[in-house]
Amino acid sequence: MHQTTRQRSQRTLKRPVSITGVGYWSGRENRVELEPAAAGAGVVFVREDLSDQVVIPAAVDYRVEASSRTNLCAGGGRVEMVEHLLSALAGLDIDCCLVRVHGEEMPGLDGSSRAFVEAIDAAGATELAAAVDPIVVDSVVRIGDDTSWIEASPPRFSGLSVDYELDYGAGPIGRQTLSLRVTPEAYRTELAAARTFLPAEDAERLRSEGRGLAATTNDLLVFGPDGPIGNALRWPDECVRHKVLDLVGDLSLAGRPIHAHVRACRSGHRLNGALAARLAASLQPASA
């Protein structure tokens, strides 16, 4: 991997904007305030509810393993389920943003990133006096095994493109594929409204463990034998679209926009994060 200057400036928000909602896992309300940030700042979370206002950079070094979501931890503070917000910021080319939060878990909203996109668009974007310096993949990097894997290869254009295969075998989710060049326009129309999904048996298991009690079939897609329970699909292939939405958010933890063609099969947050870490590590100078 190497770095090169992308032909655009870094971008931030024109003005602050906020989103409030309840976390799926905790059931607690959280207010998320997105504010403009200086060039080079990246995306940084601030836990306003903690006495020391803990600062947590949206970077792979602060990622902690979690089931079915992406969490970050630094300075004794944590932010949970950040992938949808990070995906919206990365998908709309917002490079620098201060994210003030008043709780640990991000709002689940409707299980997609649409509300975050609408808030960002309402705030508007402005260019900063610094160029974007992306990670440009120049050789194939592959992580995983024969069952689930993800790989990045040299870009097909100046940016990110994705080929994703989801395969749940026989059943209502089944096998779905999506190929997409990720641009702000494509993100808004093809990914942002795609919602979190899970089979009914997984939803029941989570409830039996006392988790996810705040989420209902009205909030996200819970698949029974005949399809989503009490909820209509926004696309026939909404599930694979959500997987790509998550992927965009997880890869943003590399800290720079990624120029690559990414192929993935049954990849989730763990493998996505591992690829982001590998790409971020490629920017570090070799040790003496």
Residues with catalytic annotation?
269
Let me know: does 55 contact 75? Beta carbons within 8 Å.
Answer: yes
Q: Which long-range contacts (CB under 8 A, 24 or more apart) does 173-180 make?
A: 173/197, 173/199, 173/223, 173/239, 176/237, 176/239, 176/240, 177/237, 177/240, 178/237, 178/240, 178/241, 178/243, 178/244, 180/244
Q: Which two tokens stand for residue 258?
A: 């990624």
**Burial class, 226, CB count within 10 angstroms (exposed 0-12 / middle 13-18 / buried 19+):** exposed
Report the C-alpha gap between 6 and 23 in whole angstroms.
36
Report the C-alpha gap between 234 and 114 in whole angstroms.
12
Which residue's structure tokens are 């909030």? 219
